[in-house]
Amino acid sequence: MDPAVLAVLAAAVDQAWPRPVAVAVDAPSGPPAWRFSGRWWTRPANTRRDRPWTGG
């Protein structure tokens, strides 16, 4: 095969081949702004079993 044709084919393959893209991801510095704090299901299970109407 002619070296010029081989060079053109190699250049075409090089241009068509996908290259990896580095993406910078900014990680959050703290916890998310919205959380489930203060909800009844965030308490431990034995605390949720308390029944104030039983008198005990």
When comparing pLDDT for 18 and 50, which is higher? 18
pLDDT at residue number 42: 63
Question: Is the entire prediction scored with pTM above 0.85?
Answer: no
Spatial distance between the Cα atoms of 5 and 22, rounded to a whole number of angstroms: 33
Cβ-based neighbours of 42, under 8 Å, separated by 6 or more: 36
Cβ 41 vs Cβ 48: under 8 Å: yes
Q: pLDDT digit string (tens) for 20-56? A: 888 887 776 776 666 655 666 666 777 767 666 766 5
